[in-house]
Structure 1
């Protein structure tokens, strides 16, 4: 059984990353702060705050532990199978698709607080033999969400796949997310083959070639014009590895990124 209730704990001063969020997430910030960016908006969740993250989203995140302390969260993952089962049992359905923020701040509510406190003894809940207890705790989370934030019904029980989006606008906004091509295709409402075909019609280039050029152009701008450090920029624009980024950058522009940066990552 995959983990659906997860505790996160970090002692690093900061930890950056990015991810595709395939399921809805109810989360509680126990300590520290967590900042999200969806390509358009930035949202920060502080100690003691609750949040709801919509499924099928691309997010970058920055985890900030408190001074001399640990970053801690509890996250409850509400997958489609769980929500469909709940829908059949309790008769909840979405009235219509709704457009909300990717990360929704949930106002303080005693129900949320008591629920999260009740999870703390169940750190090993995902172990074999706890399936029934896990199911009950997930049902409880959904019932509390519906009680405290009834408007989320149309989000929780909307099981439709992403609709066909404006491919050019989507890629211009999300090129810096380092996800597989099939993920970009899915999020724009296309099969991988259709995505590639539509992409080449619009950009007159293959997706992989365009993404590399776009990311390098953005990196050049950030380093040369904004004075950013190479070590800060390469992850931000969608590269996984600094050495690969440096090689591609020098091949494209004839100069190493560290030669442009006011502060080399090795200094």
Structure 2
């Protein structure tokens, strides 16, 4: 492995940036501070000492909040498809009966002692910022999989479901998820399309390019939130998919003739 599946997050200030697409399953522990995760409908709040499992192929927003006078810290282990496929072949696990049954995107986990012991075993590696060898990484991944299966047997049908997203209704999906700041290839993948097919279908459905439609749709939502809901531009731009306040203000003024601060 070129990249370690073990990740350590440490922030001294509030953070709302980062990839909003989750490509692999994640098993995490909140060491300090608060992590808020939202899929646009449901919001989960994780505090110090909490454990969580996040299902792959999800669009999620994260807000990392340090405790007063402290530091936000969390440790995660990513359970990628290659590691799970190897585990499946070695131990004979297969997904069964998961079709048609809703699966939690973000699953809070009860504080089993096994979780705490496992996460504590990761800290010497991440705290020292040293890269552990590939064989040891695989062992830690397998240990995480075994612990999750022992404490939550129903996760078998999630962990070993290797199917990819199928082709779904493009218009409904985009109207629901336009505010997520991800690359077009992520939207294409989640709607069961290649990037080229996504762009072609998008043009047929919306009569516009994805980039142009996303910009206009996000600005329309921003206008609504500012004018009708009384929200501040500085609180809105990240929420509706912009990375930079100045870029948002420039695009908003170009579309509406006034900067967002002048909308009442």
| TM-score bucket (shorter structure) | over 0.9
Residue 9 (structure 2) aligns with: 8
What are the within-5 Å matches in structure 2 for residues 156-195 of structure 1?
156-195=159-198
| Distance (whole Å) between structure 2 residues aligned to residue 126 and residue 164 of structure 1 | 41
**Alignment gaps of 5+ in structure 2:** none
Aligned to 1:27: 28
**2:83 maps to 1:82:** yes
Structure 1 segments of 4+ aligned residues over 4 angstroms from their partners: none
Question: Is the 8 Å Cα contact of residues 2 and 126 (structure 1) preserved in structure 2?
Answer: no
**Number of the residue aligned with 1:48:** 49
Q: 1:240 aligns with which of 240, 243, 246?
A: 243
Corresponding residue number in structure 2 for 1:69? 70
Deviations 1:97-139 (A, max 9, x none): 35312111111211111111121222258626x2221111111
**1:95 and 2:68 correspond:** no
Q: 1:127 aligns with which of 127, 131, 135?
A: 131
Structure 2 SS opposite 1:25: strand
Following TM superposition, by how much is the alpha carbon of 1:27 offset from its aligned partner in structure 2, in angstroms? 0.2
**Contact 1:125/1:134 (CA < 8 Å) preserved in 2?**
no
Aligned to 2:205: 202
Q: Aligned pair count?
A: 259
Secondary structure, in 3 states, of the residue corresponding to 2:173? helix
Q: 8 Å contact 2:27–2:77 — kept in the other structure?
A: yes
Distance in 1 between the 2:136 and 2:52 partners? 23
Report the aligned-residue RMSD: 1.5
Q: CA deviation at 1:221?
A: 0.9
**3-state secondary structure, aligned to 1:144:** helix
1:96 shift after superposition = 3.4
TM-score, reference length from structure 2: 0.94
Q: Deviations 1:149-199 (Å, cap 9, x if unpaired)?
A: 000001001111111122111111110111111110100011112212222
Q: Distance in 2 between matches of 1:239 and 1:201?
A: 25
TM-score of the aligned structures, taking structure 1 as reference length: 0.93
Q: How far 1:202 moved relative to its partner?
A: 2.0
